[in-house]
Structure 1
Amino acid sequence: MISTTSLFSPVDNDLRLLTENLKRLVGARHPILGAAAEHLFDAGGKRIRPAIVLLVSRATMLEREITPRHRRLAEITEMIHTASLVHDDVVDEAELRRNVPTVNSLFDNRIAVLAGDFLFAQSSWYLANLDNLEVVKLLSEVIRDFAEGEILQGINRFDTSLTLDAYLEKSYYKTASLIANSAKSAGILSDVSTEVIDNLYAYGRYLGLAFQIVDDILDFTSSTEVLGKPAGSDLISGNITAPALYAMEETPYLETLIEREFSEPGDIEKALSIVKESHGIERSRELAAYHAQLALKHLDCLQPSVSAQSLTDLADYALSRLY
């Protein structure tokens, strides 16, 4: 599997600076938020979203140095992402994320909700200070999309009439919107042409969908140790993703199990084995590969550079997590 270390080498120092800055931006005034921030930004995340912002910044600035606004955009992106994870964990009542205790399990739900709110508010404040109305609009939309994605997921729990299109729309809100709009924003800050900006948005959109579909496959195929949360937890909580959607087409009995919310003994085990024995995983892999290919088509607008190469390799990395 490709490692993020080699992928992100063009922005290695930028990412180190980012981590130091994030703790400073969030932490000082409130010891408990400071502790939550320290915990969040240390929890071994791969920093994929800010890395994409920094790679796009470098790929569009080329010989020129990236600006403090590019760096701040990367920090804001990671803050928004982290805030959404904190709220996600509360909604999902998760105890662990990446094998590290969640904020809600360390402090409590009330503090976790407030910590997420604080991060969203803090990111909005730094966003406004970029003094670029277009970027403010794009990233405010992302914050709204997150909420909409969570609400859709909540409303559609155990709903077997969910379509593939509705699943992709929810995946856009929950994952791809941030990657697409922050990549686009980096292009805006670099002052590139509208055509390049639109391509960067499309690249982020399709790459984000590929990442989300891969995550949804790993939820079925990885062990609890690797996932850092219980395997199959999406389906068990009624969140129907691509592998289960495809499996239902083949084995309608899965619908029955989901509709009765796995209320009878052995339902969960039966449902998980139906998904694993169907072509659902394989078809989801093809769906992810299709989106990764679409993402690559939109990078042709960039001049060759090490950063542009890393953006290309990211599409392979998204898929390589399956093997």
Structure 2
Amino acid sequence: MLQIRRRILTARHLVRYRSFPSTFNTAVETAEKLVHPPTTTFQDPFSIVSHEMSNLAKSIANLIGSGHPILNRVSSYYFEAEGKNVRPLIVLLLSQAISYIPIEQRNRIEIDFQDVTNQYHFKGTPGNKETVAGKSVDDSISPLSILHGINPKVILDPLSKPMDKLPVKDQRILPKQRRLAEIVEMIHTASLLHDDVIDLSDSRRGRPSGNIAFTNKMAVLAGDFLLGRASVAIARLRNPEVIELLSTTIANLVEGEFMQLKNTVISQDDTITNDGERKNIPQPTGKVPTKQHEYSINQVDHITNVDAAFEYYLHKTYLKTASLMSKSSRAAAVLSGCQDEIIDQCYEFGRNLGLCFQIVDDMLDYTSSDSTIGKPSQADLKLGLATAPILFAWKEEPKLGELIGRKFNQPGDIEIARRAVEKYNGLEKTRLMAQDYCHRALGNLRCLPESDARSALELLTNSVLTRSK
């Protein structure tokens, strides 16, 4: 009962900062459900898709399928620890919530209930004219001897084994949506392996990070391998629109990381730092006519500069975190055969939830201990990263721009920045920003019919805002 009262107070708190009418209605609806909850059988979001979530790591292990024991060990290392698994949970819950839309309204594409696509026979692939190209998400288009380099005379297992068959349990979640959830977690985990090398992290999920437990080289290669196997699984979904969405998320992760490594709004010189050595960025020769995007603002007033920094920060946050959530949510809707307006709302839900998630993460970096969040706390300032709390403080105290520009690399910079965040209520302002995106995400869900799955998504969305790790 105490938990329910706390949730009601949280919902009322959300109402107080509502910025548009639909958010007010969403918050009121959420509070009403907490006071008079509908008849439901779930206690937490995981219970709705408990079978899929409990078998997630095992299913992913089957997808990895390397014959090299050390590569297998490094690739599966992060899946062994207890993670949040928010991304696959979103895909599975959203897929189930969408299934309550009447089937006659989900006719944008022919829904693949049996995991079989009606494609013409590709020349060079096994089978006759009636054979589907690979038939399912587990079967290959090209011969296995080509894909996996199998030598009939070799005594060892092939390095990349064929994928196991996909189990079918919940008929409301399509087989391809279940595979989509696994792919999303593989892409996310690959990014963690890479991020921990880039950020020089020493812990992840309460134990040594991959780069510490193994080596930097092995962690990078394992991340690459996960992306490679995820790409194979993406191709076998046999839906060009979904392939395009998920492939773009991989590129977005890299773009976001580069935006974080070199903030061209705050630091506009053509130098980079590598292991303490400062060097100039090589100038283009012109042989490759790449388009140069403008991410810098010159000779403008302080407020415009801060606004540009916030815009850069939110775009970077979208690419690094929200892109995978939003595009996988859209992909789940596409596979369900939804109409465009539902697909767009699912995308916006993932985008708003992803931005809320990362903004809360940036806030927790200032407030939580290492043991609470399972990774190094207070790391952003040490890495020279300007996230929302310090940007809000900079807006009030212009001289902080010098510290941000030099990435807090001078003695005393970090402590000055932390005091400024406290003085100008940077954390509270950051919380309100996250709250606004939480409201928007809840509003996006209202396009879906009432169901336990939708209620679970609403509970999950609110929990992202109030989480402590």
Aligned length: 322
Opposite residue 77 of structure 2, the aligned amino acid is H
Going by fraction, where is helix more abundant, 1 or 2? 1
Q: 2:333 aligns with which of 187, 192, 200?
A: 187
TM-aligned CA distance change 1:263 to 1:295, over 3 Å: closer
**Aligned position for 1:33:** 71
Q: 1:68 aligns with which of 175, 200, 205?
A: 175
Q: Which residues in structure 2 correspond to 1:135-154 (within 5 Å)?
A: 135-154=242-261
**Aligned position for 1:201:** 347
**Aligned position for 1:133:** 240
Opposite residue 60 of structure 1, the aligned amino acid is I
| Of 233-242 and 223-232, the range deviating more from structure 2 | 223-232
CA contact (8 A) 1:157 1:239 kept: no
SS at match of 2:173: coil
5+ residue gaps, structure 1, are: none
Give the Cα–Cα distance (whole angstroms) in 2 for the partners of residues 16 and 228 of structure 1.
21
CA contact (8 A) 2:321 2:355 kept: yes
Q: 1:10 aligns with which of 34, 44, 48?
A: 48
Indicate yes or no: 2:421 matched with 1:275. Answer: yes
Indicate yes or no: 2:433 matched with 1:287. Answer: yes
Opposite residue 68 of structure 1, the aligned amino acid is P
TM-aligned CA distance change 1:260 to 1:165, over 3 Å: closer
Give the Cα–Cα distance (whole angstroms) in 1 for the partners of residues 411 and 311 of structure 2.
32
Q: Which residues in structure 2 correspond to 1:1-323 (within 5 Å)?
A: 6-62=44-100, 64-156=171-263, 159=266, 163-321=309-467
SS at match of 1:8: helix
Deviations 1:154-185 (A, max 9, x none): 11189375611111100000010100010111
**Aligned position for 2:271:** none
CA contact (8 A) 1:51 1:74 kept: yes
Give the Cα–Cα distance (whole angstroms) in 2 for the partners of residues 178 and 260 of structure 1.
31
5+ residue gaps, structure 2, are: 8-41, 101-169, 268-304
CA contact (8 A) 2:266 2:309 kept: no
Looking at CA atoms only, which structure, 1 or 2, has the larger radius of gyration?
Answer: 2
Give the Cα–Cα distance (whole angstroms) in 2 for the partners of residues 260 and 138 of structure 1.
36
Give 1:114 deviation, angstroms: 0.8
CA contact (8 A) 1:158 1:258 kept: no
Give the Cα–Cα distance (whole angstroms) in 1 for the partners of residues 212 and 468 of structure 2.
29
TM-aligned CA distance change 1:227 to 1:68, over 3 Å: same
Give 1:278 deviation, angstroms: 2.1
Give the Cα–Cα distance (whole angstroms) in 2 for the partners of residues 258 and 155 of structure 1.
12
Give the Cα–Cα distance (whole angstroms) in 2 for the partners of residues 67 and 263 of structure 1.
51
| Of 169-178 and 272-281, the range deviating more from structure 2 | 272-281
Give the Cα–Cα distance (whole angstroms) in 1 for the partners of residues 213 and 468 of structure 2.
31
Opposite residue 191 of structure 1, the aligned amino acid is G
Give 1:5 deviation, angstroms: 7.6
